[in-house]
Structure 1
């Protein structure tokens, strides 16, 4: 594909595939539309039920035929459109055969892939790289080992953009809102216990995709033994509710997946919110916004909070706020900068 000068997204046609993830895919589409693009979007996954996603973790190949049928149906809807970009986020389910067909159908489009998971968590993803013109990843270490990857951390949406010190009265000292996976519950229990001992006000919303997932974890995870189903939440909070709870909190807890070194989206959202952070991610020290006055790094195996909750957030340089905005992210994952 020939290199062309980037002139913004006005009038550009984009075919967008992303996993459904707390509505983030809708925010990306909305922002692309605001930037002038014409967007057709679809779930990247052919499996949407929690039980199916659980099987997906064991062996995604069992859904290959279903996935190929799913993408064939989408192609029958969009094949006559002339796209400028075909953007995939993650691309864990599409087979190589699907990507070949789409590339053949949309010969003039620039195919872009953004990895918001680490390579080792997506079996077979490296075999798909050859079908893309531009690949970016949120994982700094993956980008160091794979020259095809362009490093691009995640972003904060407009609802997480706050004026400096906009909230002076806080309902909570600590806030955790997130899906319970890997060892998150084990770490969170320790933090919650310390908070209660130190009389630190904490709001936490431990989300599970379904009650099926809860009972499955009760079977395989020792830290779930003895828990009550009432300790967990099964309804997703809207982005507006999440940002409201975060705004009323001094500090936010981030517990990244142990298989990832890339920063979670919650971490980046705290840049826009001007919030202090407690995180298990040791690699955060290597980012341009890191400041030990704002960020406390804890050991996930022995999480000890050493943070003065009375201190205010130390503001960052203004250019960093645009760098981590959703608008800047969209331009970069399409292989452009504005």
Structure 2
């Protein structure tokens, strides 16, 4: 392993969801970084009545949906600023994903402490418009939706990646198993249930897991062909489950114009991918023997796809989409 990062210190502000901060920290430490974690408070603190009224006015009259998130960030910033004040060492880099989850004052304080600050918005800009106020606060600002680069000349396109510190060949593979994990979204229950039924008809084993993050209404009398999780599966646990599976399922989120982590995990962990995201055809690793694209309920050709062996890529492809290469590129 290249030791170029040994002795470097990086501060990370990562969206606190399904163990992602820990996943970043572990892979960064694997590469030799000293990691400082700026904790992201996930609690939905109530905002004052005055700000609630301002939010409603801005949202429905001015079409500005940023006030509530900005107010919450301001309420939470005291603890984070106190944490930053106690740092008395050199920080080489700072990396934020979803920087809009932190207040602007917190970002500015981090910039004072770090040699270079980087942001990566792995959700669409229009989905979380508060982030538009953060574009000029960083040395580099990356987005994963290539269409977002048209919204500001300083935005740089990059892809997601796969974490490359957990690759193992020791896991026993459950033959014909198809793994999926995701949060509950509008219409996803029906879509996932229909896909599971289709895969069962093809003698595949759908190992599908849904975390009901938003406490969406569920028909408790219905027998779903997937498991409902009370607590989310951590990112690390899902990586382990992926490596035990034969196939991966990826469902495209129409709010985005990019490829999910699942796509790159199928590449890095050498799994065949079943997806409805046709954008994958535009990438240099697209191979119809390894990636099956379906539309709606049309799975024509999947039988041949199942029978054909996984085709290895050139080592340069695996390296290109690894976390090691990703972090190297964005910190340059």
Q: CA deviation at 1:50?
A: 11
> CA contact under 8 A between 1:268 and 1:324: conserved in structure 2?
yes
SS at structure 1 position matched to 2:38: strand
Residue in structure 1 matching 2:74, options 51, 65, 70: 65
Report the equivalent of 1:161. 167
- Is 1:276 matched up with 2:272? yes
With over 3 angstroms needed to count, the CA separation of the structure-2 counterparts of 1:159 and 1:206, relative to structure 1, is farther
1:37-186 map, 5 Å: 37-43=33-39, 45-48=40-43, 59-78=68-87, 80-103=88-111, 105-106=112-113, 109-143=115-149, 146-158=152-164, 161=167, 170-186=174-190
With over 3 angstroms needed to count, the CA separation of the structure-2 counterparts of 1:86 and 1:243, relative to structure 1, is closer
> CA contact under 8 A between 1:114 and 1:333: conserved in structure 2?
no
Structure 1 gap ranges (5+):
1-6
With over 3 angstroms needed to count, the CA separation of the structure-2 counterparts of 1:283 and 1:330, relative to structure 1, is same
SS at structure 2 position matched to 1:256: coil
Q: CA deviation at 1:250?
A: 2.4
Residue in structure 2 matching 1:262, options 255, 258, 265: 258
With over 3 angstroms needed to count, the CA separation of the structure-2 counterparts of 1:175 and 1:64, relative to structure 1, is closer
> CA contact under 8 A between 1:277 and 1:295: conserved in structure 2?
yes
Report the equivalent of 1:205. 209
> CA contact under 8 A between 1:160 and 1:272: conserved in structure 2?
no
With over 3 angstroms needed to count, the CA separation of the structure-2 counterparts of 1:94 and 1:101, relative to structure 1, is same
Give, in whole Å, the separation in 1 of the partners of 2:45 and 2:103. 21
Report the equivalent of 1:22. 18
With over 3 angstroms needed to count, the CA separation of the structure-2 counterparts of 1:238 and 1:16, relative to structure 1, is closer
With over 3 angstroms needed to count, the CA separation of the structure-2 counterparts of 1:200 and 1:13, relative to structure 1, is closer
Give a deviation string over 1:44-82, Cα, whole Å, max 9, x none.
x32246999xx9x9942441332222322222322x332
Residue in structure 2 matching 1:245, options 225, 238, 241: 241
With over 3 angstroms needed to count, the CA separation of the structure-2 counterparts of 1:258 and 1:183, relative to structure 1, is farther
| TM-score calculated relative to the size of structure 2 | 0.81
Give, in whole Å, the separation in 2 of the partners of 1:291 and 1:249. 19
With over 3 angstroms needed to count, the CA separation of the structure-2 counterparts of 1:42 and 1:183, relative to structure 1, is farther
With over 3 angstroms needed to count, the CA separation of the structure-2 counterparts of 1:314 and 1:228, relative to structure 1, is same
With over 3 angstroms needed to count, the CA separation of the structure-2 counterparts of 1:144 and 1:279, relative to structure 1, is farther
With over 3 angstroms needed to count, the CA separation of the structure-2 counterparts of 1:92 and 1:150, relative to structure 1, is same
With over 3 angstroms needed to count, the CA separation of the structure-2 counterparts of 1:50 and 1:261, relative to structure 1, is farther
Report the equivalent of 1:333. 330
- Is 1:10 matched up with 2:16? no
> CA contact under 8 A between 2:120 and 2:141: conserved in structure 1?
yes
1:195-234 map, 5 Å: 195-209=199-213, 213-214=214-215, 217-218=216-217, 227=222, 231-234=227-230
Give a deviation string over 1:251-298, Cα, whole Å, max 9, x none.
211013220122111111111121111112221111111112211222
Q: How many residues align?
A: 310
Give, in whole Å, the separation in 1 of the partners of 2:238 and 2:110. 37
| TM-score calculated relative to the size of structure 1 | 0.80
Give, in whole Å, the separation in 2 of the partners of 1:19 and 1:169. 31
Give a deviation string over 1:208-255, Cα, whole Å, max 9, x none.
23xxx33xx11xxxx858647995112333556434433343221101
Structure 2 gap ranges (5+):
53-64
Give, in whole Å, the separation in 2 of the partners of 1:228 and 1:97. 49
- Is 1:35 matched up with 2:31? yes
**Could you say which structure has the greater relative contact order, defined with CA pairs below 8 angstroms and 6 or more residues apart?**
1
